[in-house]
Structure 1
Amino acid sequence: MTDQIFHDHPNDRPARLGWYASRVAIYGMLLLWAAICLFPIYWTITTSFKAAPDVMKGTLIPWVDFTPKWLGWKSLGLSPDTIGSESTVRQEFMVRFMNSTVISLTSSAAAVILGSLAAYGLSRFSYKFLWMRNPDISFFFLSQLILPPVVLALPFLVLYKELALLDTRIGLILLYTLSVLPIVIWIMRDQFAGIPHELEEAALVDGLSIWGAFLTIVLPIALPGMVAAFILSLVLTWNEYFFAALLTSTHANTLPVMVASQTGSQGISWWSMAALSFAAIIPLIIIGVLLERYIIKGMAAGAVK
């Protein structure tokens, strides 16, 4: 339509050039931003195939600036020549990977379930606790994120020692669930607030209970927002390092702790750290690709602000 207008009016060539220039500028900025966002991943991948001199030189392009080698993956027992043989490091990686998977998935799912119920209540009913009303209660949940983790280190360390939760998966699951619960509540509260009350009222008139209306009417509509909240919680819990390093030692260590341990008397093994880091983020990339449409729907519905 725009091209037809410009074709019908040859004197408007400057306007047509301006229109194309604006599109080129917009897509150029988007490509630049995409390159900036993807560059750390590219740097991590290439570093896993570098030797020590190449890492220090800051080379970028494989087969141009440096010759790729399997040094980083070989140190983890994940290179083509070591994948078929027994490797202690690879076994340790699989144990840490399973710890991260179980802890992150369980805590994120629990946070989404509990947070969705709390958010639904805050968006549909009026509560009063002392001087606090619904907005005050919502802000109270969010205020739990104000304290830095180091302030909570000693209380949790003493508490977990008394409860025998140190170096256990269940200990990290409980802690991670509490840590991401405020974010889920705020995300889902906005999601439920955008769903018209008339849908539930119609369901109640048809004979459904409040739980029935929530499960059959509200929940399917809010599903994209729940998926977006779940992915955000999963990323935060998967990458959490401080409490994982503080409260675990042997049995419940996660991948971030293993990544940070790639140091020795001769310095940091950047190639091993890069290979381990990329292997750790592959599951998040796969989940993001598979659930992309839910993320977009959740963002478009106002779930992520």
Structure 2
Amino acid sequence: MNAPLLNKDEPHLAFRASRLAGKTAIYLLLILWTIICLFPIYWTITTSFKMAPNVMQGALVPWVDYTPAWLGWRSLGLSPETIGAESTVRDEFLKRFFNSTITAISSSSIAVVLGSLAAYGLSRFSYKFGYMRNSDISFFFLSQLILPPVVLALPFLVLYKQLALLDTRIGIILLYTLTVLPIVIWIMRDQFESIPTELEEAALVDGLSIWGAFFSVILPIALPGMIAAFILSLVLTWNEYFFAALLTSTHANTLPVMVASQTGSQGINWWSMAALSFAAILPLVIIGVVLERYLIKGMTAGAVK
């Protein structure tokens, strides 16, 4: 009996089929993960347009499970019918939003500048402080994140009272700068280590100083990493609640404190909290979308050398 002839294209077709199945599985997992990541934002947005019964019943789809209303935004004075009228709550919201913007941007900018300088020094020069070398110094900066914030609550409270920094934006800016500085140093150290030292040597040969080589050659290359560090610092400082609630009371309160204040003896005003939360995360979403390419470049820099 003659053996059946084998089709030469069968291995190739089987390989293409398995490759297509693998890509399909990867895309399905990515779609599922995207839905999981975006669902909290979707829930926040839809909750801001729900009435109290809709929130308690867990209604999900607008115009299907419930009819959207402006209850959450009306409570903030930001609904279409209240936006033109005077609103104490809206004024308070705008003040908190301004405080969050000033403190987050200022502290993140200062941390990026100081952290970049420190990281550049750690990546290009050798230091010795007793038994500590560059790696030990870098780990010392990172170890500052090990302490839980509650451990630092009493020392900062006493210190800020003595320095008259309680309930001031400058006090929050200084504290937030110290909070995110270790993260910036570690991100920028890896960024600078991925840049060849030959570029600086060539710049020095051309007559530039160390600072000239840093600003004209190294800094433009490291800019994506700096933007990534700035965005990460901005997210952390914008969302910080503990120290903002502890060290501020009237003048320097930020948005996270206002969001948490929506709980009361009668329960939680989910619609107001959702509207406030969406208004708080919207600027970060816009910044993330606009600076996405810089964020990806900065976070992946140094992965392949």
TM-score, normalisation: structure 2: 0.95
Post-superposition CA distance 1:255-280 (Å, at most 9, x none): 00000000223111000000000001
Structure 1: segments with no counterpart, 5+ residues: 1-6
Distance 1:235 1:274 in 2: 18
Q: Does structure 1 residue 239 correspond to structure 2 residue 239? A: yes
- Structure 1 equivalent of residue 60 of structure 2: 60
Post-superposition CA distance 1:74-123 (Å, at most 9, x none): 00001111111111100000000000000000000000000000000000
Report 1:38-53 matches (<5 A): 38-53=38-53
- Structure 2 equivalent of residue 225 of structure 1: 225
Distance 2:29 2:217 in 1: 41
- Structure 1 equivalent of residue 30 of structure 2: 30
Post-superposition CA distance 1:198-244 (Å, at most 9, x none): 00000000000000000000000000000000000000000000000
Distance 2:199 2:12 in 1: 51
SS in 1 for 2:106: helix
Q: State how many pairs are aligned.
A: 297
What amino acid is the match of 1:62?
Answer: P
- Structure 1 equivalent of residue 4 of structure 2: none
* Residues 183 and 65 of structure 1, relative CA distance in 2, 3 Å threshold: same
Cα distance, 1:9 vs structure 2: 2.1
What amino acid is the match of 1:63?
Answer: W
Asked if structure 1 preserves the Cα contact closer than 8 Å seen for 2:120 and 2:192, the reply is yes
- How big is the alpha-carbon RMSD for the aligned residues of Structure 1 and Structure 2? 1.3
Distance 1:11 1:196 in 2: 45
What amino acid is the match of 1:87?
Answer: S
Cα distance, 1:10 vs structure 2: 4.9
- Structure 1 equivalent of residue 126 of structure 2: 126
- Structure 1 equivalent of residue 104 of structure 2: 104
- Structure 2 equivalent of residue 258 of structure 1: 258
- Structure 2 equivalent of residue 204 of structure 1: 204
- Structure 2 equivalent of residue 174 of structure 1: 174
- Structure 1 equivalent of residue 141 of structure 2: 141
- Structure 2 equivalent of residue 4 of structure 1: none
Structure 2: segments with no counterpart, 5+ residues: 1-6
Post-superposition CA distance 1:129-159 (Å, at most 9, x none): 1110100000000010110000000000000
Distance 1:155 1:162 in 2: 11
Distance 1:16 1:168 in 2: 63
